[in-house]
Structure 1
């Protein structure tokens, strides 16, 4: 199995023909059905922004003092930010998300941004703005590939409940069981995950369609998965979860009229709050 590389530039170009956009949309559709992962090029985001995100994340994890990290630690609901899914965790992870509220309930809260480095918040917010716009464009491409109105998807992601996560995987020292040095096998439950990683190769693995083989998803310029980090150096990974609006109703868009008329579907906020597990 090979992870496809999809050039998205034609879909973003207003001068592109309908056929050119449909070709891109169909490529995305095929990648999602057959692989579950794809590399995206031609996305219009400057590489310098990616470099700044990775650099800032590494600087925070390696130079911020314990006091600075504790200041933005994820707190149990009711303490400060109102939500214990945002902030720093001792597993070397920092989370932020789309801000809804107050009032704050489970899953909702105020972001807590690191002060080290000083440019952290500005860079992260710029990065988020670009990825939200890209996520909306990809959803429109999905609609085109499925031959349904793009408004069906666009209306459910125009206030995407995104989550930005910065994770550091410490270097593996001699004598450590390398099979337990990353992140367990899992799949993400939202719509899209945009993953930015540093130059380490062999760490991210994608489960092949046969359900047995693991394929390396190494970073290049431009489904089920796990992280098996065996390097002695710290690895930085920045997943951005592009999800529906907090109050979006998710329903089938394809299928017979009788099935759709039964009102099958779920509320996104119920899926999110039911899936998050806090380490307290």
Structure 2
């Protein structure tokens, strides 16, 4: 049985201008170790006020529980190439053989021609319920982009590479913000069919905010056999690295498999923020790892995104 725990990392040294170089290096090394060993970590003292977390969760819950079916239908995800659709933005019910959930997706908007739009390059469809959901979500997204860039600089410090190698490819992150609602369940739960299937994220870094439910998010332990619960810790963000950061570091950092098993009778609200590269970024191994021979020769982010399945997560 695995004894490794998901670490809690205090990120204040990278946000305080008065921090010493030694303090920044210590924090960077803690992040580095978490990414090498687990691929998940909790982030504390990240600069985002708890009141914003509460408002994000409250707005998501209000939308899923009070928005009418007509309003949800009005902003449902539409196919790319047809009118204002881009296959990516808006509301949908995610139905899978292994369970499902409701989702509301927003992505960074780029200056592109259209409509019609190609996949991912449309305009966000914001709900009317609640009225301040858009303003709060956009503020939240901008704060997480800044936080993501700061973390990438910390990675660069720990890895001994120029921070521009990372920062120049994520400073206009093609972020994706999801609000998700997992329905409550009754009776006995089939652990193989409740929530979200086992997967790794394909981008750079995921910031996860959830409500108070425990036992729902499961993370595969380094031994590849046991599952650890990544329960919410008040005031922190649950973070995990994605496949592209693993490519970027030539396998030194590990994108870890995880899944959702929601067993509560009450709805669970989850808000992942996918901090991905710039739309036009090319991601290539920059380190070279003698222990892990990478087969990756590099990828274009937009090719990975547009080549993904219709609903990529």
Question: Could you state the TM-score of these two structures normalised by the residue count of structure 2?
Answer: 0.84
Contact 1:102 1:109 in 2 (8 A): no
Tell me what 1:275 maps to: 308
Show CA shifts across 1:163-201 (max 9, x none).
001110000012563531210100001000000000000
Query: SS at 1:190's partner residue?
Result: coil
Show CA shifts across 1:86-135 (max 9, x none).
10002310101011223432222110011100011011001101100000
Larger helix fraction of residues: 1
User: Aligned match of 2:220 in 190, 200, 207?
Assistant: 207
Tell me what 1:102 maps to: 113
User: Aligned match of 1:266 in 288, 291, 299?
Assistant: 299
Unaligned runs of 5+ in 1: 257-262
Tell me what 1:161 maps to: 174
Tell me what 1:144 maps to: 157
Query: SS at 1:112's partner residue?
Result: coil
Tell me what 1:182 maps to: 195
Query: SS at 2:185's partner residue?
Result: coil
Contact 1:81 1:111 in 2 (8 A): no
Contact 1:49 1:127 in 2 (8 A): yes
Alpha-carbon distance in structure 2 between the residues aligned to 1:278 and 1:11: 35
Query: SS at 1:241's partner residue?
Result: strand
1:255 matched to 2:265: no
1:27 matched to 2:30: yes
CA RMSD of aligned residues (A): 1.6
1:171 matched to 2:174: no
Unaligned runs of 5+ in 2: 95-101, 236-255, 290-295
Runs (4+) of structure 1 exceeding 6 A deviation are: none
Identify which of structures 1 and 2 has the higher relative contact order when contacts are C-alpha pairs closer than 8 Å and 6+ apart: 2
Contact 1:195 1:238 in 2 (8 A): yes
Question: Could you state the TM-score of these two structures normalised by the residue count of structure 1?
Answer: 0.94
